[in-house]
Amino acid sequence: MGNRVMLGSSFLFIIFFIFNLAFLEAQVAPPIYVFGDSLVDVGNNNYLLLSIEKAILPHYGIDFPTKKPNGRFSNGKNAADLIAEKLGVPTSPPYLSLISLVKNNKNSSFLDGVSFASGGAGIFDGKNDLQSIPFTKQVDYYSQVHEQMTQQIGAPSLQKRLSKSIFAVVIGSNDIFGYFNSKDLQNKSTPQQYADSMVTSLKVQLQRVYNYGARKFVIVGVSAIGCCPALRLKNETECAVEANLLSVKYNDGLKSMMKGWQLEKNDIRYSYFDTYAALQDLIQNPSSYGFAEVKGACCGLGKLNAQIPCLPISKICFNRQNHVFWDPFHPTEAAARIFVDRIFNGPAKYTSPINMKQLLPL
């Protein structure tokens, strides 16, 4: 009788253990693979020896846990950090930092997520790729990572893992800045033609990422570019209308392309985030979100703190929580937190057809 009780208890314990193991496995957050520009760069540019596109000077990182510059173009955490924070996982490390470990014969794995994002990167390849890692090259790096992961765990296991992973893409702003900084580009194409070519080029690279196993995408549209301090400065403190119109044209094309692509590839799931609408909401209703300054940068010099970029000699605002913009181009951590909360939770006003939370495994 005693043995039966013991056997029954052991059996129940095993069932309970297996159930909990399965539950915990189901709750494990998926790896995040990040592609993009300075809005999500977590240090890749620090490894580009000839690049001047680096956030390595004070006052960058002043509100980061280390209180030091760390390659993030922010006073604190950026969107990549905050997305990882939502999932309860470490920030995906910079690809070039992992390559550095491999070269020094130290253990390194790409299976838990990687960031390929690079400050200054665009959808189009730049004239000087020594300054940043353009989107095409970021995808090239991912193809190499895919090959190494395949060797590590085999193709079937890797595909199963990647099908649950999140692929975040935050890019396009620098291409729009580039258009308005180049008379040659403006002479060659209308804003609509340029926006269309951005979307076409982006799809080519997304298809490559898909071919290497990606199935779940977080696609972030560009913000109201004309409302950043640098462009307000050129337009006497008002938002630059032409830049905002190009942003809208690109975002409309991007949304249309993603809908069509999903019809072509019915195993794709994605969440599009309307950064433009989210930023406009902060600018038009600042007090509702605790902001007092929506035009000027927190760190910089001159009019709107945007005539000279954020340097050690720059003026820096005392309260970074009430500024939307940290420097002439980038949001503060406070603004980024609001954006990421909407990326993750919605509502439908900002995310379509679903939000990031709905992309996660059940």
Q: Are 240 and 248 in contact (CB under 8 A)?
A: no
Whole-number Å distance between alpha carbons of 280 and 208: 33
* DSSP H or E segment with residue 114: strand 113-115
* DSSP H or E segment with residue 152: helix 135-153
Whole-number Å distance between alpha carbons of 66 and 58: 12
Q: Is 51 strand, coil or helix?
A: coil
CATH class of 31-359: alpha beta
Residue with tokens 């400050």: 119
Q: Are 11 and 145 in contact (CB under 8 A)?
A: no
63 is catalytic: no
CA-closest candidate to residue 217, choices 355, 125, 88: 355
Report the pLDDT value the prediction gives residue 27, as an integer from 0 to 100.
52
Q: Are 327 and 309 in contact (CB under 8 A)?
A: yes
Q: Are 134 and 124 in contact (CB under 8 A)?
A: yes
Report the pLDDT value the prediction gives residue 361, as an integer from 0 to 100.
76
* Paired residues of 323 in beta bridges: 293
The length of the chain is 362
The sign of the CA dihedral 293, 294, 297, 302 is negative
Q: Which residues of 280-298 are buried (b: 16+ CB within 10 A; e: fewer)?
A: bbbeeebeeeebebbbbbb
Q: Are 35 and 116 in contact (CB under 8 A)?
A: yes
Residue with tokens 């970021």: 138
Report the pLDDT value the prediction gives residue 18, as an integer from 0 to 100.
44
Q: Which of 10, 37, 38, 74 is catalytic?
A: 38
Q: What is the pLDDT of residues 100-138, one digit of tens each?
A: 776 655 556 899 999 999 999 999 997 667 899 999 999
pTM: 0.92
**pLDDT in single tens digits along all 362 residues of the chain:** 555 444 444 544 444 444 443 333 345 789 999 999 999 999 999 999 999 999 999 999 999 999 999 999 999 999 999 999 999 999 999 999 998 776 655 556 899 999 999 999 999 997 667 899 999 999 999 999 999 999 999 999 999 999 999 999 999 999 999 999 999 999 999 999 999 999 999 999 999 999 999 999 999 999 999 999 999 999 889 999 999 999 999 999 999 999 999 999 999 999 999 999 999 999 999 999 999 999 999 999 999 999 999 999 999 999 999 999 999 999 999 999 999 999 999 999 999 999 999 999 75
Domain boundary assignment for the chain: 1-30, 31-359
Q: Which of 37, 41, 274, 327 is catalytic?
A: 327
327 is catalytic: yes
Report the pLDDT value the prediction gives residue 100, as an integer from 0 to 100.
73
Whole-number Å distance between alpha carbons of 203 and 196: 11
CB atoms within 10 A of CB 81: 23
Report the pLDDT value the prediction gives residue 20, as an integer from 0 to 100.
44
Residue 278 token pair: 């989210």
Whole-number Å distance between alpha carbons of 131 and 78: 20
